[in-house]
């Protein structure tokens, strides 16, 4: 996950991020409501625009989830606000919060996803090339699935990368990780891995064992109290399944 922006109490940024995640997760938002409206409301309701932009930075590519779902372009105001957020909080690799190479790789991939979604619609605002390394590459399913949960913002239509191909090749490990997370009541990890399983093509990976994420995502939706960011993963996962079934 991203280290939090450092100019304010972490709980303040977390609350703003939760508010934005809840707005994006709203059914009308995932059906294509205007991104600029979502972000303007966040800025209007925040006493500190820096905190609001920090929330945009922390959610990253997920700010553009509705546009990715509906294959619509991000408008100029949305692109500008995302660019401002990344300029304000660039996430320097020499920051003391970067404790290992996998942490840096996760953040680099998440930044790449946001940049790629913007670039798809002509907004070349974030200079983040595709990273050269894969987090937890070659490790057993437990640490690998934990890292993949952190990479859930990549699980959106229109994105393709070695991370997506690794997910497709290790579909059963995603299912194992999701099952383990449910048993441990780790709803955030379960939702993130369920989202990955929802975005993968219907064709099973090399091990030829499929896992239907719909019961998992429905369970988390009905459970209710999973938190705003996990709730966003659940809504995105369910919306992905709806799109596949059209």
The model's pLDDT over 116-125, given as tens digits with 9 standing for 90+, comes to: 998 987 888 7
The full set of domain ranges for the chain reads 1-129, 134-246
Helix (H, G, I), strand (E, B) or coil at 162: helix
* Burial (Cβ within 10 Å: 0-12, 13-18, ≥19) of residue 147: buried
Cα–chain-centroid distance for residue 158? 13
- The CA angle 215-223-186, to the nearest 5 degrees, is 85
Separation between Cα atoms, residue 118 and residue 68, nearest integer Å:
10
Contacts of 81 (CB under 8 A, 6+ apart): 36, 39, 43, 53, 56
Question: Looking at the predicted structure, is the pLDDT value of residue 1 above 50?
Answer: no
Q: What share of the chain is helix, strand, coil (3-state, %, to 5)?
A: 65, 0, 35
Q: What mean pLDDT do residues 101-106 have?
A: 83
Question: Looking at the predicted structure, is the pLDDT value of residue 4 above 50?
Answer: no
In this predicted structure, what is the pLDDT of residue 32? 52
Whether 64 contacts 117, CB under 8 Å: yes
| pLDDT level of residue 135 (50, 70, 90 thresholds) | confident
Give the residue among 74, 62, 154 at the shortest CA–CA distance from 121. 74
Least confident piece of the model among 42-46, 153-157, 192-196, 229-233? 42-46
Helix (H, G, I), strand (E, B) or coil at 151: coil
In this predicted structure, what is the pLDDT of residue 29? 54
Q: N- to C-terminal Cα distance for the chain?
A: 33
| pLDDT level of residue 96 (50, 70, 90 thresholds) | very low
Q: What mean pLDDT do residues 223-236 have?
A: 89
Separation between Cα atoms, residue 201 and residue 67, nearest integer Å:
20
| pLDDT level of residue 229 (50, 70, 90 thresholds) | very high
pLDDT tens track for 157-183: 999 999 999 999 999 999 999 999 999
Percentage above 90 pLDDT, the chain: 46
Separation between Cα atoms, residue 124 and residue 115, nearest integer Å:
7
Question: Looking at the predicted structure, is the pLDDT value of residue 241 above 50?
Answer: yes
Question: Looking at the predicted structure, is the pLDDT value of residue 149 above 60?
Answer: yes
pLDDT tens track for 9-55: 567 889 989 988 998 887 545 655 555 566 666 666 665 788 889 99
In this predicted structure, what is the pLDDT of residue 25? 86
């Amino acid at each position: 996950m991203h280290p939090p922006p450092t100019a304010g109490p972490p709980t303040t940024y977390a609350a703003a991020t939760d508010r934005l995640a809840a707005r994006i997760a709203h059914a009308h938002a995932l059906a294509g409501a205007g991104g600029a409206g979502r972000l303007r409301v966040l800025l209007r309701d925040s006493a500190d625009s820096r905190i609001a932009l920090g929330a945009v930075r922390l959610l990253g590519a997920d700010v553009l989830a509705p546009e990715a779902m509906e294959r619509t372009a991000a408008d100029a105001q949305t692109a500008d606000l995302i660019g401002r957020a990344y300029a304000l909080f660039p996430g320097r690799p020499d920051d003391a919060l970067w404790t290992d190479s996998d942490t840096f790789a996760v953040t680099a991939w998440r930044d790449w996803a946001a940049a790629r979604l913007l670039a798809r619609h002509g907004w070349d605002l974030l200079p983040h090339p595709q990273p050269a390394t894969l987090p937890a590459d070659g490790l057993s399913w437990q640490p690998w699935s934990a890292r993949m949960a952190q990479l859930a913002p990549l699980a959106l239509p229109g994105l393709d990368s070695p991370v997506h191909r690794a997910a497709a090749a290790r579909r059963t490990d995603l299912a194992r990780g999701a099952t383990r997370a449910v048993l441990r009541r780790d709803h955030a990890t379960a939702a993130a891995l369920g989202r990955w399983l929802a975005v993968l093509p219907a064709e099973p990976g090399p091990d030829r064992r499929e896992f239907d994420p719909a019961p998992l995502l429905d369970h988390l939706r009905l459970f209710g109290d999973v938190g705003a960011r996990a709730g966003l993963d659940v809504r995105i996962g369910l919306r992905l399944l709806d799109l596949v079934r059209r």
